[in-house]
Amino acid sequence: MKRERVVVIGSGPAGLTAALYTSRAQLSTTVFVGKLLGGQISTTHEVENFPGFPQGTTGPELVENMKQQAEKFGAKLVWDTVSKVDFEHGSPFRIETEGGETYSADAVIVTVGANPRELGIPGEKQYVGRGVSYCATCDGFFFRNKTITVAGGGDSALQEALFLTKFGKTVNIVHRRDSLRASVALQTRAFANPKISFTYDTVIEEIKGDATTGTVKQIVLKNLKTGETSEQPTDGVFIFIGYDPNSRLFGTQLALDHSGYVVIDGHMATNVDGVFAAGEIHDSIFRQAITAAGDGCKAALSTINWLAQRESNLQTLDTPVVEANPQ
């Protein structure tokens, strides 16, 4: 079993920032990268709002810089996914990976993020990568001059729809209600864009494809007010209906809110002493690279303090009580 002072689960901006701080504080730190180094930000092409990059940067470049900076101070990145954790027996915590490794960590920082939510309709899984996508920046390029459908009515749906107008001939936003959840600023931009249209009170019931090419060709729409169904031709369906936190790994060991996000206190501490959380695994509201990085910094500082406090307590316990010299 490998022993570490700190294990960081996840390698997005939260995880890499946490690792930078803990390794710079001379605490041996291993980061379990998971399925994708950098998490969601690594699939974002243009990053214009991360401070310190006046000309903007790309997701992969930002992640690579963060990785190098953490490694410079000794953080070790392991290209493996955590499959099991034991938080119930307290620190040191036991961590097992899909690759068959077992680690023990004095403290753990959980930064496993969230995944895009699926519609769960026929054709969705079948046509992923063949017209169905959850990432406009990854796949938008393939839809030049095509007819695009976007599902959702929140900030993500409108922001990504605006981005997709760079490529598509038209972008139709299908939303299940008659009013959008997205911010007024995004709504104003979307309403002003001649390529964007809206279909309200409607859900996509099925995604159909062309048997010969195996790509998306049509969607079945259902108007929730009239109950009417119709078929509409489309080349691509981009789904932005929110995100689900990747908290399944923790089972009942970490306290979660009703949506599955890890509950933390003002010091990024979870309900388990010595386990901290940062980034989208606890944050369903801000979801920005910079807020995740800030969270990672806070979680690392709390971890450093927690370990120092614990050591000083242990030292106090180990030190024999010296009787005051009566003379």
Alpha-carbon span 130 to 213, nearest angstrom: 9
* Phi, psi dihedrals of residue 132, rounded to the nearest 5°: -100, 130
Stretch that binds ligand NAP, among 79-87, 148-156, 220-228, 257-265 (CB under 6 A): 148-156
CB nearer ligand NAP, residue 47 or residue 151? 151
Does 119 interact with ligand NAP (rule: CB under 6 A)?
yes
Q: Is the four-CA dihedral 267, 9, 13, 118 of positive or negative sign?
A: negative
CB of 248 to ligand NAP, least distance (A): 19
Applying CB under 6 A, which of residues 181, 189, 217, 222 lies at the interface with ligand NAP? 181
CB nearer to ligand NAP: give 125 or 177: 177
d(CA 140, CA 168): 8
Q: Say whether residue 207 binds ligand NAP (CB under 6 A).
A: no
Using CA atoms, how far residue 147 sits from 127, 216, 219, 312, in Å, is 16, 11, 12, 63
Q: How many CB atoms lie within 10 A of CB 122?
A: 12
Instruction: Please select the residue that binds ligand NAP; options are 21, 93, 167, 240, rule is CB under 6 A.
Output: 240
Of the two residues 211 and 285, which places its CB atom closer to ligand NAP in the complex?
A: 285
Phi, psi of 54 (to 5 degrees): -60, -25
Selected from 184, 211, 285, 324, the binder of ligand NAP by CB under 6 A is 285
Q: CB of 69: closest distance to ligand NAP in angstroms? A: 26
> Quick check: 222 binds ligand NAP (CB under 6 A)?
no
Token pair for 78: 């392991």
Window 51 to 70, contacts with ligand NAP (CB under 6 A) = none
Instruction: By CB under 6 A, tell whether 149 contacts ligand NAP.
Output: no
The rounded distance, in Å, linking the Cα atoms of 219 and 232 is 5
Is the previous residue joined to 122 through a cis bond, with omega within 30 degrees of 0?
Answer: no
Q: Which of 24, 189, 287, 310 contacts ligand NAP by CB under 6 A?
A: 287
Are the C-beta atoms of 157 and 182 separated by less than 8 Å?
yes
Task: Tell me, by CB under 6 A, how many residues bind ligand NAP.
Answer: 19
Our finding on whether 154 is near ligand NAP (CB under 6 A) is yes
Is residue 45 near ligand NAP by the rule CB under 6 A? Answer: no
Binding flag, residue 12, ligand NAP (CB under 6 A): no
- Which residues have CB under 8 Å from 249's CB, separation 6+? 9, 82, 83, 84, 85, 112
Active site residues: 135, 138-139
Structure tokens at 75: 């953080």
List of residues contacting ligand NAP (CB under 6 A): 119, 151-157, 159, 176-177, 181, 203, 240-243, 285, 287
